[in-house]
Structure 1
Amino acid sequence: MSRRADALFELCDAVLCAEGPVRSLAELSLVGEHRRGHGGLYAGLAHGRLDADRLRRAVLAGPLPRAADGRLVLAVDITCWLRPEAHTTPERILCHTYGRGKDSHMMIPGWPYSVVVALETGRSSWTTPLDIHRLAPGDDAAIVTATQLRRVVTGLITAGHWRPGDPDILIVADAGYDGPRLAFVLRDLPVAVLVRMRSDRVLRRPAPPHTPTTPGRPRRHGGEFVFGDPASWGEPDITAHHDTRLYGPARVRAWNRLHPRLTHRTAWLTHTGTLPIIEGTLIRLEVNRLPSGAIPKPVWLWHSQTDHDPALVNLLWQAFLRRFDIEHTFRMLKQTLGWTNPKIRTPDQADRWTWLVLAAYTQPRLARPLAADLRHPWEKPAEPHHMTPARVRRGFRHLRRQTPCPARAPKPSRPGPGRPPGHRNRRPAHRHDVHTVTATTKKRPQSATPRPRRTG
Structure 2
Amino acid sequence: MVLPDTPVSDPAAVLAGLRRDFYECLVRRADALFELTDAVLCTDGPVHSLVDLSLAAEHRRGHGALYDGLNSGRLDIRRLRTTLAGLPLPRTADGRIVLAVDVSNWLRPDAATSPDRLFCHVYARGKGQAQLIPGWPYSLVAALETGRTSWTQVLDAVRLGPADDATAVTAAQLRDVVDRLIAVGHWRPGDPDILIVADTGYDTARLAWLLADLPVVLVGRIRSDRVLRLPKPARAAGTIGRPRKHGGEFALADPATWPAPHHVTTTATTRYGTARAAAWDRLHPRLTRRTCWIDHHGDLPIIEGTLIRLQVDHLPGDRDPKPVWLWCSATGATATDVDRWWQAFLRRFDLEHTFRLFKQTLGWTRPKIRTPQAADRWTWLIIAAHTQLRLARPLAADLRRPWEKPAPPGRLTPARVRRGFRNIRPTSALPASAPKPATPGPGRPPGTRNRRAAPHHDVGKTIKRDLTIAARKQHEG
Q: Which of the five TM-score ranges fits, normalised by the shorter chain?
A: over 0.9
1:101 Cα shift?
Answer: 4.2
Identify the residue that residue 253 of structure 1 maps to in structure 2: 278
Cα distance in 1 between the residues matched to 2:417 and 2:356: 15
Question: AA paired with 1:178?
Answer: D
Cα distance in 2 between the residues matched to 1:425 and 1:278: 58
- Give the alignment of 1:260-339 within 5 angstroms: 260-293=285-318, 295-339=320-364
Equivalent residues of 1:92, 1:109 under 8 A apart: yes
1:68 Cα shift?
Answer: 2.6
Cα distance in 1 between the residues matched to 2:442 and 2:135: 34
Question: AA paired with 1:233?
Answer: W
Identify the residue that residue 21 of structure 1 maps to in structure 2: 46
Selected match of 2:205 from 174, 180, 199:
180
* Ranges in structure 1 where 5+ consecutive residues have no aligned partner: 440-456
Cα distance in 1 between the residues matched to 2:422 and 2:268: 42
TM-score by length of 1: 0.94
Which secondary structure state, in structure 2, belongs to the residue aligned with residue 10 of structure 1?
helix
Question: AA paired with 1:291?
Answer: P
Cα distance in 2 between the residues matched to 1:131 and 1:292: 33
Selected match of 2:459 from 415, 434, 445:
434
Question: AA paired with 2:400?
Answer: R
The answer to whether the aligner puts 1:146 opposite 2:146 as a matched pair is no
1:292 Cα shift?
Answer: 2.5
Identify the residue that residue 227 of structure 1 maps to in structure 2: 252
Identify the residue that residue 155 of structure 1 maps to in structure 2: 180
Cα distance in 2 between the residues matched to 1:399 and 1:48: 27
Cα distance in 2 between the residues matched to 1:275 and 1:82: 38
Tell me how many residue pairs correspond in the alignment. 439
* Ranges in structure 2 where 5+ consecutive residues have no aligned partner: 1-25, 465-477
Cα distance in 1 between the residues matched to 2:65 and 2:463: 42
1:103 Cα shift?
Answer: 3.2
Question: AA paired with 1:313?
Answer: V
The answer to whether the aligner puts 1:197 opposite 2:222 as a matched pair is yes
1:414 Cα shift?
Answer: 1.7
Deviations 1:400-423 (A, max 9, x none): 011231111101112111112111
Which secondary structure state, in structure 1, belongs to the residue aligned with residue 427 of structure 2?
coil
1:232 Cα shift?
Answer: 1.2
Selected match of 1:43 from 65, 68, 91:
68
The answer to whether the aligner puts 1:87 opposite 2:87 as a matched pair is no
Which secondary structure state, in structure 2, belongs to the residue aligned with residue 2 of structure 1?
strand
Equivalent residues of 2:163, 2:461 under 8 A apart: no
Deviations 1:66-88 (A, max 9, x none): 12321111110111100011111
Equivalent residues of 2:163, 2:462 under 8 A apart: no
Which secondary structure state, in structure 2, belongs to the residue aligned with residue 385 of structure 1?
coil
The answer to whether the aligner puts 1:404 opposite 2:452 as a matched pair is no
1:210 Cα shift?
Answer: 2.1
1:345 Cα shift?
Answer: 0.6
1:217 Cα shift?
Answer: 1.3
1:389 Cα shift?
Answer: 0.4
Equivalent residues of 1:75, 1:326 under 8 A apart: yes
Equivalent residues of 1:240, 1:252 under 8 A apart: yes
Equivalent residues of 1:225, 1:232 under 8 A apart: yes
| Gap change, CA 1:185 and 1:236, over 3 Å in 2 | same
Selected match of 1:59 from 69, 73, 84:
84
Selected match of 1:164 from 163, 176, 189:
189
Which secondary structure state, in structure 2, belongs to the residue aligned with residue 261 of structure 1?
coil
Equivalent residues of 1:370, 1:384 under 8 A apart: no
Equivalent residues of 2:151, 2:354 under 8 A apart: yes
Cα distance in 2 between the residues matched to 1:20 and 1:237: 52
1:437 Cα shift?
Answer: 7.6
1:211 Cα shift?
Answer: 3.5
What is the alpha-carbon root mean square deviation over aligned residues? 1.3
TM-score by length of 2: 0.90
| Gap change, CA 1:100 and 1:354, over 3 Å in 2 | closer
Which secondary structure state, in structure 1, belongs to the residue aligned with residue 27 of structure 2?
coil
The answer to whether the aligner puts 1:390 opposite 2:415 as a matched pair is yes
Identify the residue that residue 218 of structure 1 maps to in structure 2: 243
Which secondary structure state, in structure 2, belongs to the residue aligned with residue 365 of structure 1?
helix
Identify the residue that residue 9 of structure 1 maps to in structure 2: 34
1:293 Cα shift?
Answer: 2.8
The answer to whether the aligner puts 1:351 opposite 2:376 as a matched pair is yes
Cα distance in 2 between the residues matched to 1:388 and 1:313: 30
- Deviating more after overlay: 133-142 vs 205-214: 205-214
Which secondary structure state, in structure 2, belongs to the residue aligned with residue 180 of structure 1?
helix
Which secondary structure state, in structure 2, belongs to the residue aligned with residue 16 of structure 1?
helix
1:261 Cα shift?
Answer: 1.1
Cα distance in 2 between the residues matched to 1:181 and 1:282: 16
Selected match of 1:76 from 101, 104, 127:
101
Give the share of equivalent positions with the same residue, in percent.
65
Deviations 1:250-307 (A, max 9, x none): 1111111111111111211111101111111111000111112363110011111111
